[in-house]
């Protein structure tokens, strides 16, 4: 006979044993995005409508370039984890596997493309 309570057996455990870590990861990335995105939108909005040289000059500065890179990486990681959770909840079998691979690959490709463009501008 085990002398563990139901709560002790269930604490931190989900079907995949990573539910708590996933929840905290999503929470931390959501808070980070909530802090970074308004600042990034202000920078992006001020550059919007400018000439090509003005936009290049804006994103060649360190703070806008680093902030843009952070927003890209954190947002795409948040998207991939959220999409994976949604797909795992609603899809079954090989459709699930293909959809998870597609969502993860899409996030990676978008982040890599954005970072490549940013590096070309910043350097």
The predicted-structure confidence for 37-95, as pLDDT tens digits, reads as follows: 999 999 999 999 999 999 999 999 999 999 999 999 999 999 999 999 999 999 999 99
Categorise residue 8: left if φ over 0, alpha if ψ from -120 to 50, beta otherwise: alpha
Decide if pLDDT at 12 tops 60. Answer: no
Which stretches within 61-92 are classed as H helix?
Answer: 62-90
pLDDT for res 5: 72
Domain ranges, ordered by start, for the chain:
6-122
119 in Cβ contact with 73 (< 8 Å):
no
Percent of the chain clearing pLDDT 70 (strictly above): 86
- Give the CATH number of domain 6-122: 1.20.1300
Distance CA 115, CA 22 (A): 25
Residue 22 pLDDT level (bands cut at 50, 70, 90)? confident
Residue 2's pLDDT band, with cuts at 50, 70 and 90, is low
Contact 108, 76 (CB under 8 A): yes
Confidence band, pLDDT 50/70/90 cuts, at residue 115: very high
Output the pLDDT for position 19.
Answer: 74
């Amino acid at each position: 006979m085990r002398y563990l309570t139901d709560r002790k057996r269930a604490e931190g455990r989900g079907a995949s044993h990573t539910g708590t870590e996933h929840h905290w990861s999503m929470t931390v990335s959501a808070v980070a995005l909530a802090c970074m995105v308004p600042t990034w939108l202000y920078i992006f909005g001020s550059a919007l409508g400018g000439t090509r040289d003005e936009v290049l000059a804006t994103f060649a500065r360190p703070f806008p370039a680093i902030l843009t890179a952070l927003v890209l990486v954190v947002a795409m990681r948040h998207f991939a984890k959220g999409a994976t959770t949604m797909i795992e909840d609603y899809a079954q079998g090989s459709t699930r596997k293909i959809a998870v691979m597609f969502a993860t690959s899409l996030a990676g490709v978008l982040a890599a493309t954005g970072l490549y463009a940013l590096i070309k501008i910043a350097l």
